Copies of this chain bind each other. A is one copy, B any other.
Amino acid sequence: MRADARRNRQSVLDAAYEILATEGLGVPIDEIARRAGVGAGTVYRHFPTKESLIEAVVLNRLHALTDKARSGIDFAEFFTVMVEAGLTNRAIADVLAGGGYQIPADADAALHAAFAELLQEAQQRGTIRPDVTPDDIQALVIGCVATARHRGATALVQVVVAGLRA
């Protein structure tokens, strides 16, 4: 791979990460290209479709979240970490909410499984009510991100966490 190609590829990734985080998945490819200092054609040579670029940018964020879930963190803490991730990074919020683009099933499943493990642990310890399922939690995260976006802060997440206690 030629040196300039590798350099441009990285520029596109950096620009895409930055803009997708602040603007969400709706941002035009041309804007990412402009920010990266390349033409739109260059973006499409490195990433054959907009979806593939989004995937490349979002995947390691999801992996980082999965790692965080496996780092001995508490369920309630990780819940707020997820909401903060969605609040900080609009692209994350959009993919969690299933907004148009799909993420590889395995990455989604890994995050889901890690989160489910934390939930089950907390339920066995008796700190979280036993009648909520992992899918419920995912839906609540999405809702909390929507809530937090409209208040510009995550303070209200504590209301939901309080409602989750046993």
Interface residues of A (CB under 8 A from B): 97-98, 129, 132, 135-136, 138-140, 142-148, 150-151, 156, 158-164
Contacts and interface: CB of A to CB of B under 8 A. Distances in A.
Contact of A132 (B98, B135, B159): B159
Among A135, A138, A159, A163, max chain B CB count under 10 A is at A159
Question: How many copies of this chain?
Answer: 2
A35 B17 CA distance: 41
A83 to B, nearest CB: 10
B151 A139 contact: yes
11 contacts: A98-B150, A138-B150, A139-B151, A142-B147, A143-B144, A143-B145, A143-B146, A145-B146, A159-B163, A159-B164, A161-B163
Given A98-B150, A138-B150, A143-B144, 9 more contacts: A132-B156, A132-B159, A139-B148, A140-B147, A140-B159, A146-B146, A158-B163, A159-B163, A163-B164
B146 A142 contact: yes
A151 B135 contact: yes
A28 to B, nearest CB: 17
